[in-house]
């Protein structure tokens, strides 16, 4: 299903190329430019699905929005009129939004004309996103560089999981993120609709599921259809997940008889691995799930249905005498085997309703039929083992964006790296991957800043050829794409300052911004283990929530220090010293704000540490460039203070300790 492309070396220095992200399979620039003006028109040819016309109109609006040009063309509603058009889009057939659909396209820009050719409209939509990324400007106006692009994805499954159970997300959050996904050529919304903390989909068959399991925050079936249509218009599949048998509290609030313990159950307010689990030994459970999945299979048109299957701690199974007796009678040796028994019955139900079953890697078991797809999250091993044993799989291990790891970490996590143990045939069983936005610590206000821009780096990993892995070049392009994503109403940048205004009581946010730009939230799951007890209604408005998952300012500073150490020129000295001077003064200004904003008290000593280590950095910079040798005692004391500054406060970490320490360690002592 993947187009085999010959790789042509790109013929310009990376830093001068337009920031295409994901990098297309094949790009060849040539001389000349297509200049844009208000007379620009586009035409659609061939036999596209009608989504092409809406997509072309959105393209025109975005181009108009970016350039301020008053295009004469209003809506694109039919094929034809290509004789006068500057941009001609040609699709051979209507696209179908499903796994493995042809998303390839060819884009040719010459000074006279732009041609976009694709098998179908979905490929054409991908090409229009590339075209928008090509837009450049100079003193004469806006233009597109002459270029020939031949492009197709490396993997057919490129997803983003959005968890709306832990925190409910309104419709507009989903819509703007679908637009963001389309912009970076992602094609699956994995909608995590059900978990302990909320049953977020309306069920007409079993209304107590959403009525009693959601605190009133759920998507009606009409809203579900609206999101599916919105995604479909952008060539994006919507795959629902109904997590069973564990993560099941919200099922049991209205239907406690499905559980393995007597209940009653209430909607979970806390985070973690919970005990409630469906009882896999009773036929009534399967009747219930048969009816429920029949209803959901009718609601969600995608071929795949995700059944979760993760993190069953088995406690309620162990404690239930009837379940234990059932296991003994049926020679089921352990809970994993019992869950496998459950999965096989679920697989039959899901298959009966015309769906393919996918589940988290816990569903992996020798008895699992090969038609199930394994979603690898605990490690890459499950994906490799699945492929070797003839299962198809997708990867999310290494793409957990809720863990606050840097973009490059996700970017370099290749499902099929050069040293893969998989044969070529086995490699074809790796369908792709998904970024996972788990919802414990996000609100509608912060979720975009946890998804973007890092998810764009994952999108590139899953779309672009394996050879595309220059981290510095990725960061250069990511900054530009991040800003372009705001066009869709995404709030990852604009909410930052609003959150700082709240934290400061609408006073001058400058010193707080300087500080927060240098910190990052604590990583992995540590945020839950630092003495703060989070529930589903805890405020997500503190410094740690405003802080970006990755500090670009700290990254920039580390680069400056490296340049200084490589070459202590006056410019390189100033590049480091200028920042340290600002940071050194910052605490005094921030202290005045902290004094009347008690919410900021938790970072007071960390802010003080920024001043302390900036002074150390300034001294080290002076010693380094003047070659004056400080005492051993200064050196030791400095390293102690730097170590102390590493301690997180307010659940954030100061990210400039490492480069300052590097500078101190480079200074020779007496
Ligand atoms: C998972 O993160 N429990 C799939």
**Choice among 48-57, 72-81, 229-238 with the minimum mean pLDDT:** 72-81
The share of the chain scoring above pLDDT 90, in percent, equals 94
pLDDT (tens digit, 9 = 90+) per residue, 163-187? 999 999 999 999 999 999 999 999 9
Residue 5 has pLDDT above 80, yes or no: no
Query: From atom 2 of ligand 1, which residue's Cα is the shortest distance away?
Result: 377
Report whether residue 226 contacts ligand 1, using a CB cutoff of 6 Å.
Answer: no
Torsion of CA 173, 175, 179, 181, to 10 degrees: 70
- Ligand 1 pocket: which of 311, 437, 528 to mutate (most atoms within 8 A of CB): 311
Question: Could you read off the pLDDT of 268-323 as tens digits, one per residue?
Answer: 999 999 999 999 999 999 999 999 999 999 999 999 999 999 999 999 999 999 99
Please report the atom of ligand 1 found closest to the CA of residue 400: 2
Dihedral sign of CA atoms 192, 196, 200, 205 in order: positive
Question: Is the pLDDT reported for residue 14 higher than 60?
Answer: no
Mean pLDDT for the stretch of residues 580-607: 98
Which residue's CA is the closest to the ligand 1 atom numbered 3? Answer: 310
CA of 266 to the centre of ligand 1 (A): 22
Question: Average pLDDT in the 623-641 region?
Answer: 94
Q: How far is the CA of 247 from the centre of ligand 1 (A)?
A: 10
Can you give the pLDDT at residue 12?
43
Q: Which CATH superfamily is 5-151 part of?
A: Chitobiase/beta-hexosaminidase domain 2-like (3.30.379.10)
Residue 79 C-alpha from the chain's centroid: 36
Q: What is the 3-state secondary structure (H, E, C) of 624-644?
A: HHHCCCCCHHHHHHHHHHHHH
Q: pLDDT value at position 392?
A: 96
Q: Could you tell me if the CB of 311 is within 6 A of ligand 1? A: yes
Burial, 501: exposed, middle or buried (Cβ in 10 Å; 0-12, 13-18, 19+)?
Answer: middle
Question: pTM score, two decimals?
Answer: 0.96
pLDDT at 15: 55
pLDDT of residue 82: 81
Taking CA atoms only, the protein residue closest to ligand 1 atom 1 is 310
Q: What is the pLDDT of residues 247-259, one digit of tens each?
A: 999 999 999 999 9
* Ligand 1 contact, 215 CB (< 6 A): no
DSSP string across 176-213: HHHHHHHHTT--EEEEEEEETTEE-B--SSSTHHHHHH
Pocket test for ligand 1, best of 192, 241, 360 (most atoms within 8 A of CB): 360
Residue 213 CA to ligand 1 centre (angstroms): 20
* Catalytic residue from among 10, 303, 311, 487: 311
Q: How far is the CA of 377 from the centre of ligand 1 (A)?
A: 6
Give me the pLDDT at residue 4, please. Answer: 39
Domain residue ranges in the chain: 5-151, 495-669
Q: Is 311 noted as a catalytic residue in this protein? A: yes
How far, in Å, from the CA of 310 to the mean position of ligand 1?
Answer: 6
351: which 2 tokens?
């298959």
Cβ 28 under 6 angstroms from ligand 1 = no
- Residue 11: the pLDDT is 43
Query: Which ligand 1 atom sits closest to the C-alpha of 377?
Result: 4
């Amino acid at each position: 299903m993947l187009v085999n492309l010959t790789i042509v070396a790109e013929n310009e220095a990376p830093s001068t190329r337009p920031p295409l992200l994901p990098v297309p399979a094949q790009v060849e620039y040539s001389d000349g430019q297509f200049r844009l003006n208000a007379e620009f028109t586009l035409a659609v040819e061939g036999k596209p699905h009608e989504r092409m016309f809406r997509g072309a109109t959105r393209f025109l609006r975005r181009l108009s929005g970016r350039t301020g040009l008053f295009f004469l063309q209003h809506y694109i509603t039919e094929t034809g009129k290509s004789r006068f058009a500057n941009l001609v889009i040609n699709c051979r057939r209507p696209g179908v939004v499903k796994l493995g659909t042809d998303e390839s396209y060819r884009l040719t820009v010459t000074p006279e004309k732009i041609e976009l050719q694709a098998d179908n409209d979905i490929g054409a939509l991908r090409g229009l996103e590339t075209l928008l990324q090509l837009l450049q400007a100079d003193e004469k106006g806006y233009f597109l560089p002459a270029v020939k692009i031949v492009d197709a994805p490396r993997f057919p499954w490129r997803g983003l999981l959005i968890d709306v159970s832990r925190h409910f997300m309104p419709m507009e959050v989903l819509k703007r993120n679908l637009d963001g996904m389309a912009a970076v050529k992602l094609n699956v919304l994995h909608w995590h609709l059900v978990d302990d903390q909320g049953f977020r989909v309306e069920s007409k068959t079993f209304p107590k599921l959403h009525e009693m399991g959601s605190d009133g925050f759920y998507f009606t079936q009409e809203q579900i259809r609206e999101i599916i249509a919105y995604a479909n218009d952008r060539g994006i599949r919507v795959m629902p997940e109904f997590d069973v048998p564990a993560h099941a509290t919200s099922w049991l609030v209205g239907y406690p008889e499905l559980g393995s313990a007597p209940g009653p159950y209430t909607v979970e307010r806390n985070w973690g691995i919970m005990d409630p689990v469906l009882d896999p030994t009773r036929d009534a459970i399967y009747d219930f799930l048969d009816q429920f999945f029949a209803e959901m299979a009718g609601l969600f048109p995608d071929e795949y249905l995700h059944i979760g299957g993760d993190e069953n701690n088995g406690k309620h199974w162990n404690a239930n005498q009837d379940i234990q007796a059932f296991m003994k009678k049926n020679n089921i040796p352990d809970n994993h085997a019992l869950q496998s028994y459950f999965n096989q019955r679920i697989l039959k139900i899901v298959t009966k309703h015309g769906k393919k079953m996918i589940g988290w890697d816990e569903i992996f078991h020798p008895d699992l039929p090969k038609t199930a797809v394994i979603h690898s999250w605990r490690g890459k091993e499950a994906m490799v083992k699945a492929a070797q044993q003839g299962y198809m799989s997708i990867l999310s291990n290494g793409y957990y964006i809720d863990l606050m790891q840097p973009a490059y970490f996700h970017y370099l996590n290749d499902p099929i790296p050069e040293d893969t143990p998989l044969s070529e045939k086995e490699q074809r069983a790796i369908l792709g991957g998904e970024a996972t936005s788990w919802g414990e610590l996000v609100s509608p206000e912060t979720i975009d800043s946890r998804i973007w821009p890092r998810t764009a780096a994952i999108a590139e990993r899953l779309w672009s050829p394996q050879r595309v892995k220059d981290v510095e070049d990725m960061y250069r392009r990511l900054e530009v794409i991040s800003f372009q994503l705001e066009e869709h109403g995404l709030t990852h940048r604009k909410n930052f300052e609003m959150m700082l205004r709240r934290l400061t009581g609408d006073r001058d946010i400058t010193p707080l911004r300087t500080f927060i730009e240098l910190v990052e939230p604590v990583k992995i799951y540590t945020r839950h283990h630092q003495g703060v007890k989070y529930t589903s209604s805890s405020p997500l408005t503190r410094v740690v929530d405003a802080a970006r998952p990755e500090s670009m300012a700290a990254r920039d500073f580390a680069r400056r220090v490296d340049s200084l150490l490589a070459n202590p020129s006056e410019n390189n000295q100033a590049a480091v010293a200028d920042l340290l001077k600002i940071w050194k003064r910052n605490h005094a200004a921030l202290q005045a704000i902290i004094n009347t904003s008690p919410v900021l008290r938790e970072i007071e000593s960390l802010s003080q540490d920024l001043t302390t280590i900036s002074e150390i950095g300034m001294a080290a910079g002076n010693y380094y460039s003047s070659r004056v040798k400080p005492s051993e005692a200064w050196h030791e004391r400095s390293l102690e203070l730097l170590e102390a500054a590493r301690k997180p406060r307010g659940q954030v970490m100061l990210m400039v300790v490492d480069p300052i320490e590097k500078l101190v360690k480079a200074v020779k002592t007496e």
